[in-house]
Every structure is written in structure tokens, then in C-alpha cells.
Structure 1
Amino acid sequence: MGKIPDMKQGIIPEQTEGGQSNTSSSIRASSDQEARAMYNVARERLLDVNNWHNISGDLTATFELISPNGEKVYRHAKEGDHIRINIPGPGTSTGAGYDWVRVEKIEEQTDHNGVLSYLGMRVRPFKPPKDIDPDVAHFFQRDATSSFILTQYGAVLEASVLGRNEKPNTDTSSFWDRVRNFFVGLGAMAGLSKAQWKALVKGIIRVPGHSQMV
């Protein structure tokens, strides 16, 4: 899989401070052609943010795709969109009870012979769209990122969520948000968010009749 790490370099920031996390799941198809068909299905699932909760399970957060003008939209995610996240427990007052991220970058590559396909989407903590308050409405600070990666290499399909530079967001003007973000952020860094991401990556590549490798 020598080509895949080179592809990922454009979407995953360098780890410079705070915590980092890597969550992945993979599945092996019977042929490259079957894997490409599975990739196309998984690609739809990754970009269909509104459906993440349904493929992850009932005990996970809910995600809603919000356009830059603040309206919920029912389509694939695009650069500049926001994702409104409702996690179990108290939300942020800055984000009207929600955590928010912005879709910062989406890139996709594929070769000509169907051996290698790649899709990456990077999100970053952000304020709600059209909000004049500059405070980030998320339990992680603005430098943190989550990169959602889907790769097909030969007969192997893999989905990953890679977190970088994760630090609790205690810079907000709201005292209660600072307290909430500190504890929620520490919990996420300690691994509590890993179950959420594990459920998501499994759901993205799930195919009836195929056993997942990881």
C-alpha cells in the first residue's frame, strides 16, 4: 500500500501539540472489481453526513449537514459546509447546545485501472454559520482536526478517522462552556470518542456477508 500514505499527506495536518487518535476498520473483497463497487457505496455513506447516526448505531452522536448560510441541507458534504453535532450530555451555550465543525477540505483520487481509490474529508472546530461571536463552539480548540479517510487498494477497503492536535477548548468567553469543554475534551482524548468513530468507520464499509478485518 505504498501509494496510500502519499495521498493522505494532503489531508492530514502535522501533529504538533495536544493529543492524536487513529481509528480504522477494513474489509477484504473477493476481487479488485468487487472492492471498487464496495468503495463506491462507502463513498456515498461517508459524504452523507446526515445519515452517519443511522449507520453508527443508536448510542452515538447525531450529525447534521448545515450550509454556510445556516440551513440544513440534504446532499453530499462540500467544502465550506458546517456539521452540527449533538453529543450525549450537555452541549455548548456558544453553539446553542451543539458542537460545530466546518468542512475544510475534501479531496479524491483514483487511478485508471481500478486498483487504488481514495477519498479524504477534513473538518475543524468552528463557530455556527453566520454567528458573529468569534468563539469556537466545540469541545476541542480551533487547531484540532478530524480527517475522515476512505481507501480502496486492490481488494482491501479501509475507513479511518484520524484526529490531530486535540486540546480542550478553554478559550471561550463562557465560563460554563470552558468547564464543559475541559471535561468533554479530556474524555475524548482519553478514548471516549473512539467508540463513536469505530462505530462510524465500521458502518461506512459494512457489507452483508463480509467479515471486517479490524
Structure 2
Amino acid sequence: MEQAHTSFQVAAGRMLSVSNWHAYSGAGSAKFVLCNNQGEEVDVLAEEGFFISIDLPGPGPDAGDGVEWVLIEKLVSEGGAHTAEEYVLMTVRPAADPHKAAAEIAHFYTDESTSTFIVRRDGLVVSAGAHGRNETPNNEAVDLHDKIRNTAIALIARVGLSGGQWQKLVNGLIEFKETK
């Protein structure tokens, strides 16, 4: 049980180390940067109210000056070393670029969409997952370039091509081998 708890703690720490997600996901993945509520890059663990900028391969949205933005709206941790189950859960929601006064969502999904990341230990089993909800293309209050781009990326994601990005990330949260 102690080894499972230690493995859980390592994986949970990786999940909260957002700026390292690219390393955990491997080549060809998006680049994630944890930012404070002002949109400035920070080198700390994720917290509610912080932002994540996401630089997808290819052209980014005009609304975000080339990057997607999400807000960490929920961060929950339950359980411990001597409980049967423990987990850390983080829910993010598309957001406006925190550098800009405009309220235009800088993401290919609307702000009705959420993504939830979880690292969990159930007994001796440690697992990780990523779950999207209400994923709707952001093509209402954006310029023509972003309408076309956001609709195309949302359709690509809907047919399952974004699943590879999240699968690589959740596998990396559990299996990543540190190099010295």
C-alpha cells in the first residue's frame, strides 16, 4: 500500500506540474504553460484561479495571440496514505486571454466546455484520466479565421484525434521516467 501511495503522489505531482506536461506527453504534443491570474508564467504547482496557456501544433487562435487559454476552476484532493482511495482532480474551462481586456474566449471550444484531469489510487491501483464535457466549437463571437479554425479543430477532436494527446499525457503522468 505504501508503494501505491508513493506512486500516486508522484503522478499527482506531475498532474499539478502543468508546465511539464509536454515532457510527460512526448514529442508532437501541445506545449502547456501554467500562468497566474495575470497570465504571467509561474513555476509552481497548479492552483484554482490560475490559467494554462496551450500552444497546439499549427496556427493558434487570433483571440489568444496564437495560444489557447483555460482557467483552472476546480482543484480537489481527497484521501491519504491510510485510506482505501485517494485522488486529485483538476477541472479547466476555456477562457479569455488574461492579458487582454476583451472577454473573447481564446480556445477552440466555448466556455460551456470543461476538461477534467484526475489521478487516482484505488487500493493498489494508480490510474489517470482526462474527460471532456460539453465540447462545442467556439465559433460565435470570434473573427472569421477563428471560426474556421475552431470548427475544424473541434471536428478533428470530435472524431477522436485529440484523444491521442490526452492518452499520451495520462500515460506520462503514471509512467514517465525521470532522466538524470
- TM-score with structure 1 length normalisation? 0.80
The alpha-carbon distance between structure 1 residues 39 and 90, as it changes in their structure 2 partners (threshold 3 A), is same
The partner residue of 1:106 within 64, 72, 75 is: 75
Number of equivalent positions: 177
C-alpha distance in structure 1 between counterparts of 2:29 and 2:35, whole Å: 19
2:57 aligns with 88
Aligned to 1:178, the other structure's residue is in SS state helix
Identical columns (%): 38
C-alpha distance in structure 2 between counterparts of 1:69 and 1:124, whole Å: 16
Partner amino acid, structure 1, of 2:96? K
The partner residue of 1:188 within 113, 133, 157 is: 157
C-alpha distance in structure 1 between counterparts of 2:27 and 2:10, whole Å: 22
1:123 aligns with 92
How much is the aligned-residue C-alpha RMSD, in angstroms? 1.2
Q: Which segments of 5 or more consecutive residues in structure 2 lack a partner in the other structure?
A: none
2:36 aligns with 67
C-alpha distance in structure 2 between counterparts of 1:180 and 1:186, whole Å: 10
* Cα deviations by residue, 1:131-160 (Å, 9 ceiling, x for unpaired): 211110000111000000111011100100
2:142 aligns with 173
Aligned to 2:160, the other structure's residue is in SS state helix
Q: Is contact 1:92-1:138 (8 Å) kept? A: yes
Report the more deviating stretch, 140-149 or 107-116. 107-116
Q: Which runs of 4+ in 1 moved over 6 A?
A: none
Report the more deviating stretch, 113-122 or 52-61. 113-122
C-alpha distance in structure 2 between counterparts of 1:177 and 1:126, whole Å: 15
Shift of 1:111: 4.7
C-alpha distance in structure 2 between counterparts of 1:77 and 1:71, whole Å: 13
1:21 aligns with none
Q: Which segments of 5 or more consecutive residues in structure 1 lack a partner in the other structure?
A: 1-31, 209-214
1:156 aligns with 125
